[in-house]
Amino acid sequence: MFFRAAWSLVLKKAAPGPRWMHSPGSAAHSEQKMPPYSNYHAQRSYPMPDEPFCTELNAEQQALKEKEKGNWTQLSHAEKVALYRLQFHETFAEMNRRSNEWKTVMGCVFFFFGFTALLIWWQRVYVFPKKPITLTDEWKAQQLQRILDMKGNPVQGLASRWDYEKKEWKK
């Protein structure tokens, strides 16, 4: 018992390991973002993200942000669009435009249909045995003639529908 308690103290004071690196106070769980990444997330259902799209601005963009604080009538259309692009990644029209993902999905579906058909054909040719003789049309005709000759089930079966005098099916 004492050994376990002492060992747990040793582990707590040991050098940084995987547990220490992912503890709640570490950088992995801090609220700061790494520079190339941001928490920007915009969708049609949530069009106003919590933070702007561009968080790191160059000198030209910072000058534009300063100009934004003034009168908006002095801004050109291109500057207004540039300001919009600093705040948002896409417009609603760009968010709503159709994607060509359906072509990829349908291509994959048809590819797997073709592969499955090829696999089934290969199995029928090389894996499955030949059809048994009892499934041929000649055999089935002979079997039907044998049932009729034996007059099997003459009340409600096949023999009741066969005309033995004319040798044809009853109408």
pLDDT, tens digit (0-9, with 9 covering 90-100), for 71-104: 989 999 999 999 988 888 888 888 888 889 999 9
Residue 151 falls inside a structural domain: yes
Residue 4 falls inside a structural domain: no
Residue 74 falls inside a structural domain: yes
- pLDDT at site 18: 47
Model confidence pLDDT, tens digit, residues 1-38: 555 555 555 455 544 544 444 444 444 444 554 444 45
Residue 18 falls inside a structural domain: no
Residues 59 and 81 in one domain: yes
Q: What is the CATH number of the domain that holds 48?
A: 1.10.442.10
Residue 65 falls inside a structural domain: yes
**Can you give the pTM of this predicted structure?**
0.41
- Higher pLDDT: 39 or 136? It is 136
Residues 121 and 138 in one domain: no
- Residue 116 in this model has a pLDDT that exceeds 90: yes
- pLDDT at site 39: 64
In this prediction, residue 117 has a pLDDT band, given cuts at 50, 70 and 90, of very high
Q: How distant, in Å, are the alpha carbons of 161, 162, 163, 170 from that of 166?
A: 12, 9, 6, 9
Residue 22 falls inside a structural domain: no
- pLDDT at site 4: 57
Residues 155 and 123 in one domain: no
Residues 47 and 93 in one domain: yes
Total domains, the chain: 3
Residue 158 falls inside a structural domain: yes
Q: What sign does the CA torsion over 91, 92, 96, 97 have?
A: negative
Nearest to 90, CA basis, from 43, 57, 51: 43
- Of 51, 81, 97, which residue sits at a domain end? 97
Residues 58 and 89 in one domain: yes
- Of 49, 75, 97, which residue sits at a domain end? 97
Compute the mean pLDDT over every residue in the chain, rounded to the nearest whole number: 80
Residue 12 falls inside a structural domain: no
Residue labelled with tokens 């054909």: 121
Domain region containing 165: 131-170
